[in-house]
Amino acid sequence: MRDLERREPARRKVLVAKLGLDGHDRGAKVITMALRDAGFRVVYMGVHQSPEDLVRTALEEDVEAIGISILSGSHEELVSDLIRLARGRGLDVPVIVGGVIPPEDVQKLKEMGVFEVLLPGTPLAKVVEVFKKALGEEG
């Protein structure tokens, strides 16, 4: 068990956004609602966000994790640029990626530094659990 007393009070503030030009926002919205119901504070950025937009907002809002959704197949380049930009500006929070991602790309994304990749059909309970884990909340 973690020593709860020595932890800072949990802010549980995360960012959810659609990275790139893809407009499919059903998943991002549903996950935003699920995280809020689970007690998270979610900054929802909506569609058409560039890596720059995302990093800027993440820094301004001081979030503890970033969830991004991509269904257009451009995840490799977008996520790679996002992480490079974030690390360059000293933003070192876990990044969680969801969407239409071929299973063979999951490992590649993790090697870039992605905390977890969530494929279609992932239960909301699992999504919430992954965000909690990203914030160091479990066990």
Partner 1 sequence: MSGLEELKRRLEEWEREVVAPLLKKFPERKRAFLTEEGLEVGRLYTPRDLEKWDYVEKLGFPGAYPFTRGIYATMYRGRPWTIRQYAGYGSAEDTNERYRYLLGIGQTGLSMAFDLPTQLGYDPDHPLAWYEVGKVGVSMPAVTEMDMVFRDIPMDKISTSMTINATAIEVLSMYIAVAESRGVPRAVLDGTTQNDILKEYIARNNYIYPPEPSMRYSVDLILYAAREMPKWNAISISGYHMEEAGATPAMEIAFTFADAVEYVRWARERGKLDVDAFAPKLTFFFAARTNLFEQVAKFRAARRMWAKIMRDWFGARDPRSMVLRFHTQTAGVLLTAQQPMVNIIRTSLQALAAVLGGTQSLHVNSYDEALSLPTEESVKLSIRVQQVLLYESGVADTVDPLGGSYYVEWLTDQIEERAWKYLEEIEKMGGMLRAVKLGYPQREIARAAYEWQLKVEKGEVPIIGVNVFTEPEIPKVKVLKVDPAARERVVGRLRQLRESRDQVRVRTALDNLRRAAEREDVSIFEPIFEAVKAGATLGEVSGVLREVWGEWRAPEVF
Find the binder of partner 1 among 10, 34, 43, 59 (CB under 8 A).
Answer: 34
Query: Smallest gap, in angstroms, from Cβ of residue 129 to partner 1?
Result: 13
**Residue in 44, 91, 94, 98 binding partner 1, rule: CB under 8 A:** 44
Q: Which of 100, 112, 129, 133 binds partner 1 (CB under 8 A)?
A: 100
Cβ closest to partner 1, residue 88 vs residue 90: 88
Angle between helices 75-88 and 51-61 (to 10 degrees): 40
3-state secondary structure at position 73: coil
Which stretch in 56-64, 84-92, 113-121, 131-139 sits in contact with partner 1 by CB under 8 A?
113-121
119 binds partner 1 (CB under 8 A): yes
Contacts 24+ apart (CB under 8 A), 39-45: 39/12, 40/12, 40/13, 40/14, 40/131, 41/11, 41/12, 41/13, 41/14, 42/13, 42/14, 42/15, 42/16, 43/13, 43/14, 43/15, 43/16, 44/16, 44/17, 45/15, 45/16, 45/17, 45/18
The answer to whether residue 136 forms part of the interface with partner 1 (CB under 8 A) is no
Among 12, 17, 25, 65, binds partner 1 (CB under 8 A): 25
Name which of residues 64 to 83 contact partner 1 (CB under 8 A). 72-74, 77-78, 81
